[in-house]
Structures are given as structure tokens and as C-alpha cells.
Amino acid sequence: MKTVTLVLWILTACAGLYLLSVWLRNGGLRQTKVTRFPKVLIFTHPALAVAGLALWVAFLAGGGRAYAWAAFAALVVTAMLGFTMLTRWLMGGGRHARGAEQHFPVVAVVLHGLTGVSTFVLTLLTATTLA
């Protein structure tokens, strides 16, 4: 289950990087249009996710339970920020969102969300089953 969690985490990161690249390519940093996604939200979400992934890798490398729980803690905050972005995107109607996020493909958003939730659940299950 530890390795499956790692694979899902990497898939989630890849989908997230794709969404970030879409946002950047469509003027996300310039934000000349009205947007529901503040820059701090856009960059804090992946930064925490990467920190959590690094903690998970440290756990897999033999770091102990504390690393698994620290990875999960980072994932909790990451998920809350991700849910904030999802609700803001949905409030804009997905296809009718404002700013750079209006270019997000629905499939990529769904994939990122599903793999993210799966990663969250598997990380929690793995951490709780450690001796």
C-alpha cells in the first residue's frame, strides 16, 4: 500500500503540474482578467504537496511513523487548499470561470481531484496501520 500511495501521489502531482502549466500559459501570473485564484493559493497548494511527498519518500526510505504522519498533515492542508480552489472554480461554472482558470480541462481537474482524494485516503490508511 505504501508504494501504491507513492504512485498515486506522483500521478496527482503530474495532473497538478499540468493544471499549473495551463494556468501559467493563459496568463495566470499576469492576472489581467478577474480571477478567483489568488497567486498565493496557486503556489502554496503545490508547495505543500511537494513537501508532503518528500516526507512520504523519507518515510519509505525508513524514516519511521513520524514521517508518515507529517506527510499526512501536509496533505490535510494541501487538500483544504485544493478544495478551496475547486469550489472557486465550480462557482465560476467550470467552463465559465474567470481568468486563466477558465482554460482548465474538466478531465484534468477530475483526474487531479480523484487521484488526490485516493492519495489522501491511502496515506491515512497506511499511517494508521503502522505498528
Q: Is residue 5 predicted with pLDDT exceeding 70?
A: yes
Residue 12 has pLDDT above 80, yes or no: yes
For helices 2-25 and 106-128, give the axis angle rounded to 10 degrees: 150
Whether pLDDT at 66 is above 80 = yes
Residue 74's contacts (CB-CB under 8 Å, 6 or more residues apart) are 48, 49, 51, 52, 55
Q: How far is CA 97 from CA 8, 32, 52, 90, 92, in A?
A: 28, 14, 29, 8, 4
pLDDT given at position 96: 47
Q: Is the pLDDT assigned to residue 101 strictly greater than 90?
A: no
**Predicted confidence band of residue 88 (pLDDT cuts 50, 70, 90):** confident
pLDDT of 47 strictly over 50: yes
Closest CA to 123 of 82, 81, 74: 74
Supply the pLDDT for residue 71: 97
| pLDDT for 79 beyond 90 | yes
